[in-house]
Amino acid sequence: MANIILTAENFAFGPIGKLLDVAKLLKDRNHKLTFAGYGTSYQLAKNFPFDTLLEIDTDNPKNKKSLQKIISKGDILVSSMDIPSIEAAKNVGIPTVWLDSLFWFWTSIPKILFNVNVYIKERSLDDTINERKYGHKIKNLYTVGPILPKIEKAKKIKQAIISFGGGEAFYWYKEGVNTNFPTMMTKILLDYVDWSEFDKVILATNERILSNLSQKFPNSPFKFTTCGSHRKFLKELARSEVALITPGLITSQSAFNFETPSIFLPPSNNSQYLQIDEFRKLGLAIASVHLDNFLPRLELRGKDPHKTIKEVLNQLCQIDKSTEQKQNIGKAIQELVSTRHQWSKRATNVGKKFLDSLGGNGIEDVVDKIEEIILTSKK
């Protein structure tokens, strides 16, 4: 048994979601787990049975010494795309595992990651450009299939689930400040989509946004909920008749894996914009509503993420100011909801085949590799 320190970048629910799926298997193998994090990452982490849970903003330079002290108490650090914790681990001489589910997305990879004990990249979208650019520079690069939660498929019930993911990322964009996406999209879904065929409609995102939405729309048919935990959310996704999701990677992959027919809502950030582009190219977004259906197409590939996220947020702002555009989006979503029985089987088939083409679930490989590093470092 090892004392494992785990961290995740405070960027919506993507990094922490992947980390929690891995943490579940580490927990099952009787390792002692300490999580250190902040914001949306901490929100999901606090509902997981970590042995120790510490709230600390790893991105804040003022917390550098405190972070180093936390990590120094571990046998190994497992970081889901949180750079400051890797820097801290290097300073205190702790072995490091870097978990990267967006290897295809990056325009640059920091040099500090070239020498981690293992850099685990997940197969997802086409990453040949970065493989050629960085594959020979990263000393311990290890590739695995899609990192998927070990949850059984469930019998579908007359339930729809709506997910906006984490909804915001503290140092990138915040709901009510840089974006109005959750409120705007909720109103669109209420005004233009008929939910009468469902016994239940769940709307999930982060706690703060859910609280705001429940106050703004007190008489809606939606149940605003976090579902209690990341794992419980996945179980609701598995048994839903249809999912309406922003095109984040973790929820999309899980929906493919559970064979839950999914309608992709417009992207709420830059990585989602690029992902829905790729999903469409691969034939995975059979039911989707993209921003470029209504506004000029954005070319984001290879550009600074800090600039591209502003481009996407600007387009969302344009839509929010236009009643006609919101109506058009709502009608497009309603068409997909009402015709779901016509496209759902085809969509679930292509999603499952896509995951299989990437080598199947790689989560056991991730945990095996972490344990290998633990054993090696103790010799």
197 and 143 fall within a common domain: no
**Domain count within the chain:** 2
Give the structural domain span for 191.
157-357
CATH number at residue 217: 3.40.50.2000
HEC per residue, the chain: CCEEEEEECCCCCHHHHHHHHHHHHHHHCCCEEEEEECHHHHHHHCCCCCCEEEECCCCCHHHHHHHHHHHHCCCEEEEECCHHHHHHHHHHCCCEEEEECCCCCCCCCCHHHHHCCEEEEECCCCCHHHHHHHCCCCCCEEEECCCCCCCCCCCCEEEEEEECCCCCECCCECECCCECHHHHHHHHHHHHCCCCCCCEEEEECCHHHHHHHHHHCCCCCEEECCCCCHHHHHHHHHHEEEEEECCCHHHHHHHHHHCCCEEECCCCCHHHHHHHHHHHHCCCCCCECCHHHCCCCCCCCCCCHHHHHHHHHHHHHHHHCCHHHHHHHHHHHHHHHHCHHHHHHHHHHHHHHHHHHCCCCCHHHHHHHHHHHHHHHHC
45 and 191 fall within a common domain: no
194 and 337 fall within a common domain: yes
342 and 370 fall within a common domain: no
186 and 262 fall within a common domain: yes
**Can you give the pLDDT at residue 379?**
59
This prediction's pTM: 0.92
How would you write the pLDDT of the chain (379 residues) with one tens digit per residue? 899 999 999 987 889 999 999 999 999 999 999 999 999 899 999 999 999 999 999 999 999 999 999 999 999 999 999 999 999 999 999 999 999 999 999 999 999 999 999 999 999 999 999 999 999 999 999 999 999 998 888 999 999 999 998 888 777 878 888 889 999 999 999 999 999 999 999 999 999 999 999 999 999 999 999 999 999 999 999 999 999 999 998 899 999 999 999 999 999 999 999 999 999 999 999 999 999 999 999 999 989 988 999 999 999 999 999 999 999 999 999 999 999 999 999 999 999 999 999 998 999 999 999 999 999 887 5
224 and 286 fall within a common domain: yes
109 and 193 fall within a common domain: no
**Can you give the pLDDT at residue 155?**
94
139 and 163 fall within a common domain: no
